[in-house]
Structure 1
Amino acid sequence: MSDIAESVDIPEYADAELVAGEGLASEPAFWLVHLLVTMGDLSADPDEYGVTAAAFEAMLDRLSDAEQPWPVLRVPFAGGHTAFAVYANDEDENTIEFAVRHPAWGRLGHLGQCGPESAGPGLSWAELTAVAASVPESGSDIEGLADPAQRLLLLLPMLGDEATPQEAWLVVAQALVRCGIPDDAASRFARELVWSDADDQQAGPSWTVAGDNPVAVCSARYSPRQVPIALGITREQAQALADALRGDGRADPTVEVADPA
């Protein structure tokens, strides 16, 4: 298993010891654990997803170990913003917390969390694909994930949007394949992750811009985004965030995410 010893400083997590977890992203076991845990279903047979039971259990143990520093995986995107997932492990509770921040804000923008007290969704489909595709130009030199497929899958648990297109599962399937899940398992798993099978379609939350804040809000009852992200930041900061969540001018971020080459 990859070493994740580099410390990470997030001021709002001053009471926790954080370490960079991006080194784990090269392992298919990480993605299987991440997605199954956030789905709340660990009953699947890892072998069916091309991951050995031993690798799966070892990854699960590391990501839930309360005696180890908390792994955090980061997704820097347009305008100097960063989305991230923190594996917050206490002795009696494990939660994966998703947030977005900017160094000029002085606060966090909560997207949601998966665990005993789950909250979400935190991203629309358009936002998810835009953020995944918005890789900083510094590429491999960035602090965080640079692969659009990895970025998409990390934040996928925060997706909730009635406007998610029927073909969204194809984008997710290609991302899974790029991250090491076999083709046949990826197609099946992707459908489960985005609920795109016709019989499983449910009315999802809607996203709208209202009032004088340019950042979209969510209609879902348990979404932190019933109010704008990082409520209280300046109008200029909110506009910069809204632009970044729209892809900062990218014409078609979905194409970039979907291309596994």
Structure 2
Amino acid sequence: MLIKGYDHGPLTAGEPLADRPGFWANHLLGWCQAGPDGERPEPEWFGDDGADTDALAEVLYDERAWPVLRVPFGDGHRAVAVFRNFADGPGLDFLLTHPGWVRAETLLSYDGDRCGPGLRWRQLVHVADAVPDRGPDSGPEGGLYGPAARLLLLLPVLTDGRRNAAEAVPRIAGALTAVGAPQETAALAARCLIDGPDDAVRHDPAWGSPLGGGTPRAGEGDGWPGRVPLPGLGVTAAQGERLARALGGHGEPSTGVSARGT
């Protein structure tokens, strides 16, 4: 598999992994904070057990094959999660791609710290729900099409979860039960997933393409009106307008997450 402008690898289609026991515990457990009474997150919160979680980790973090899970949404855009399995330690890259762009753009990267523009809650929900029609040749490796799985895969890019907890907690809890988590712990897991460090964050002008340089950034010249859907992306004004519509309209831009521990 190739992602234009993303020169790391080896990449492999990873969508089938989302249906395997242990995937959601591997993907989400590390983002959970302790519960209000000191409960420690555990794989069972996500419907998994320790053995399944360990077995799936061997595949998910294999240096020889980096799983890529794609979320297609409006107007040909895709949000892409890459499990970046370098020998010196794994990381996670969330990218945005479009056939008309010269390269993939970084939505958020994680190496123990999160950095990137991320998505606001309203944008995340819009992307999760914007399930495109599946073409006749689309197979199980062409992307995630279930709204619950789409929401949970992209949950680490959320930048304003606490401020939207009243809406976010029940929506995330419902998504967790849809992928097999027990109802009795779903709300607690959802709360712990969004109850991380303060997400009042700043924009870093260094954010942009994984390769940097080249195409003007949205918001710089080209008559861009100043309402940037995601600051720091290396896309043209016209491309930024299309992305804004695909994210549900201009509205308030995401402010991103600076480098900080989670």
CA distance in 2 between partners of 1:247 and 1:115 (Å)? 31
The residue number in structure 2 matching 1:259 is none
Matched, 1:18 2:11: yes
C-alpha spacing 1:37/1:64, structure 2 compared with 1 (3 Å) = farther
SS of alignment partner, residue 22 of structure 2: helix
What's the CA shift for 1:158?
A: 0.5
Identity of matched residues, %? 38
Query: Deviation at 1:243?
Result: 0.3
- From 44, 66, 78, the equivalent of 1:82 is 78
1:72 equivalenced with 2:68 (yes/no): yes
Q: CA deviation at 1:114?
A: 2.1
Query: Does the aligned pair in 2 maintain the 1:85–1:97 contact within 8 Å?
Result: yes
Q: Which residue of 2 aligns with 1:31?
A: 24
Work out whether residues 29 and 51 of structure 1, in 8 Å CA contact, stay in contact via their aligned partners in 2.
yes
Name the TM-score, length of structure 1 as normaliser: 0.76
**Equivalent residue in structure 1 for 2:55, among 39, 55, 58:** 58
Task: Check the 8 A contact 1:125/1:163 in 2, yes or no.
Answer: no
Give 1:62 shift. Answer: 1.7
The one-letter code sitting in structure 1 at the alignment partner of 2:17 is L
AA matched with 2:124: L
**TM-score normalised by length of structure 2:** 0.76
Instruction: Give the conservation status (yes or no) of the 8 Å contact 1:84–1:98.
Output: yes
Equivalent residues in 2 for 1:117-128, closer than 5 Å:
117-120=113-116, 122-128=118-124
**Which residue number in structure 1 is paired with residue 240 of structure 2?**
238
1:111 corresponding residue in structure 2: 107
CA offsets 1:51-90 (integer angstroms, 9 cap, x no match): 1211010112222222x21000000000100101000111
1:215 aligns to 2:232 (yes or no): no
Q: Residues of 1 paired with 2:242 and 2:158: CA distance?
A: 21
Residues of 2 paired with 1:247 and 1:212: CA distance? Answer: 14
Alpha-carbon displacement from aligned partner over 1:150-194 (angstroms, at most 9, x marks no partner): 000000001012652522100000000001111112111001112
Post-superposition offset of 1:139: 6.7
Q: Counterpart of 2:42?
A: 45
Cα contact 2:32–2:192 (8 A) shared by 1: no
CA separation of 1:201 and 1:109: change in aligned 2, threshold 3 A: closer
Contact 2:108 2:157 in 1 (8 A): yes
Partner Cα distance (1:110, 1:97) in 2: 7
Match of 2:2 in 1: 9
Unaligned runs of 5+ in 2: 35-39, 204-217, 251-262
2:16 & 2:107 partners in 1: Cα distance? Answer: 23
1:146 — aligned with what? 145
Q: What secondary structure, in the 3-state scheme, does the structure 1 residue paired with 2:166 have? A: coil
How many Å separate the matches in 1 of 2:135 and 2:186? 26
Would the aligned equivalents of 1:39 and 1:157 in 2 still touch at CA under 8 Å?
Answer: no
Retained in 2: the 8 A contact 1:177–1:186? yes
Name the CA distance, whole Å, in 1 between partners of 2:41 and 2:49: 12
The change in CA–CA distance for 1:39 and 1:139 in structure 2 (over 3 A counts) is farther
Taking a change above 3 Å as real, the CA distance of residues 239 and 70 of structure 1, as seen in their structure-2 partners, is same
C-alpha contact (below 8 Å) 2:21/2:52 kept by paired residues: no
Matches within 5 A, 1:194-213: 194-195=194-195, 202=198, 204-205=200-201, 212-213=225-226
C-alpha distance after superposition, 1:191-244 (max 9, x if no partner): 11122xxxx89563489x976244334xxxxxxx4x2x2x2x232211100000
Is 1:174 matched with 2:174? Answer: yes
- The root-mean-square deviation of aligned C-alpha atoms, in Å, is 2.8
CA distance in 1, matches of 2:197, 2:31: 19
Match of 1:184 in 2: 184
SS at match of 1:33: helix
